[in-house]
Amino acid sequence: MAPPLREPVFNLPPVVMLLIGVLAAIHLGRLLLDLQADMEVLSTFSVVPARFALEFGWADQQQIVRDLAAGLNPASAAEKLQVARYFVDGGGVRWWSVLSYAVLHSGTSHIVMNCLWLAAFGSPLARRIGAGRFVFLFAIGSIAGAFAHIGMHTTDVVPLVGASAGVSAATGAAARFVFSRGLRMDAMASDAAVKALPALSLLGMLWNRQAMAFVVFWFATNWLFGAGFVTIAGENQGIAWEAHIGGFLAGLILFPLLDRSIVRPDPGSAAAH
């Protein structure tokens, strides 16, 4: 008798496991750096909106300093202004930062939350569209999230970090098919089963109660975190909810262009968008 097949300890697509491993390795590496070296990493690879404001002429340094000083306690203003100048002065825009910021995280809770969400929603998406397209969508979502954040925080000097926008893009794309009729949760680990799910059109999602409930929950949760009503344990930095929304919308809209499934759209929905 043939021995029973063993289930893998982590039943995740290789590309998802690889991405989680890269994020974890970079975070652990930063923990080994001293403060000055880590500040250099943040300055070089994070998104600093004020740099883009200066580059595009949306604001000058005086306006950036005024906007920052307006919300500071006078007792700590000098120190914070010095930190702000460190991130704004010298070198101009780091164009690669709209992508590289996605591999940095502000703390352990931040990276754990992103990796758990990536495993949950990135896995079915990677099974459906393949590794290359998955990485492409993650990158586009990260870039979309960066510019959404820059647009809403033009003169901000606080570095933006985190994979949340890319993870949100995967979530938005997965929402186009994981709520289709006939889904069995035990089939989510099967490439063939995931590819067999009919895709929902944008209009069709409005008529799918599960999909709409999830989208409403997702937006409401992000707003609550962004407004500060809910916080992540151990994290003092605010949640960049605008970046999340930018990534989510990118994934939601771009999914049909990357979908490799030949299954027709759900007959209960309108034509694919």
Tell me the pLDDT tens digit for each residue of 182-195: 555 555 666 777 88
User: Is 159 a domain residue?
Assistant: yes
- Of 268, 148, 171, 162, nearest in space to 221 by CA: 171
What's 160's DSSP letter?
Answer: B
In this prediction, residue 79 carries a pLDDT of 60
**The CATH number of the domain where 157 resides is what?**
1.20.1540.10
Per the domain annotation, does 2 fall within a domain?
no
- Give domain status of residue 125, yes or no: yes
C-alpha to C-alpha distance for 139 and 262, rounded to whole angstroms: 24
Per-residue pLDDT tens over the stretch 147-196: 999 999 888 888 899 999 999 999 999 999 988 765 555 556 667 778 88
Q: Is residue 74 part of a domain?
A: yes
Query: Structural domain tally of the chain?
Result: 1
Residue 98 lies in a domain: yes
pLDDT tens track for 47-100: 999 889 888 888 777 777 777 666 655 555 566 666 667 677 666 788 999 999
Say if 224 falls within a structural domain: yes
How far apart CA 127 and CA 12 sit, in angstroms, is 9
Whole-number Å distance between alpha carbons of 115 and 123: 11
Whether 269 is in a domain gets the answer no
Question: Which residues constitute the domain of residue 33?
Answer: 14-258
